[in-house]
Amino acid sequence: MSDPQISIVAPLYNETESFPHLVGRLNAVMDASPLSIEVVLIDDGSRDNTVALMEQLALADPRYHCVFLSRNYGHQIALTAGMASARATEALFIIDGDLQDPPELLGEFYGKLREGYDVVYAVRKKRKENWFKRLAYSTFYRLMRSISYVEIPLDSGDFSLISRRVADVLSQMPEESRFIRGMRSWIGFRQVGVEYERDARLAGESKYSFKMLRRLAYNGIFNFSEYPVKLVTRLGMITFAAAMLYLVQTLVKKYVYGDVPQGFTALLFVIVLFSGVQLIALGMIGEYVLRIFFQTKGRPLYVVREIIRRQERQPISGANTIMPQATLPNQPIL
Higher pLDDT, 323 or 166: 166
- 140-149 pLDDT, tens digit per residue, is 667 777 677 6
pLDDT at 94 over 80: yes
More confident residue, 21 or 202: 21
Mean pLDDT over 108-117 rounds to 87
In the chain, where are the structural domains located?
A: 6-225+300-323, 227-296
Q: What is the pLDDT of residues 275-332, one digit of tens each?
A: 777 777 777 777 777 777 777 777 788 888 888 876 555 555 433 333 434 333 333 3
Give the right CATH number for 6-225+300-323 from 3.20.20.140, 1.10.3720.10, 3.90.550.10, 3.40.50.720: 3.90.550.10
Distance, in Å, from the CA atom of 86 to the CA atom of 284, rounded to the nearest integer, reads: 37
Q: If DSSP codes are grouped into helix, strand and coil, which group holds residue 169?
A: helix
- Are 301 and 70 contacting, i.e. CB atoms less than 8 angstroms apart? no
Q: State residue 41's pLDDT score.
A: 92
Q: How far is residue 281 CA from its own chain's centroid?
A: 25
Per-residue confidence at 92, pLDDT binned at 50, 70, 90? very high
| DSSP class per residue in 68-137 | EESS---HHHHHHHHHHH---SSEEEE--TTSSS-GGGHHHHHHHHHTT-SEEEEEEEEE-S-HHHHHHH
- The answer on pLDDT for 227 being more than 50 is yes
C-alpha to C-alpha distance for 306 and 322, rounded to whole angstroms: 11
∠ at Cα 270 (264, 274), nearest 5°?
A: 150
Give residue 297's pLDDT.
73
The C-alpha angle 212, 214, 220, rounded to 5 degrees, equals 105
Which pLDDT score is estimated for 134?
67
| pLDDT value at 250 more than 80 | no
Across the range 83-111, mean pLDDT stands at: 85
What proportion of the chain, given as a percentage, has pLDDT over 70?
Answer: 73
Count other Cβ atoms within 10 Å, centred on residue 203.
14
β-pair type (191-198, 156-163): unpaired
Instruction: Specify the pTM.
Output: 0.68
**Closest by alpha carbon to 122, among 192, 190, 180?**
192
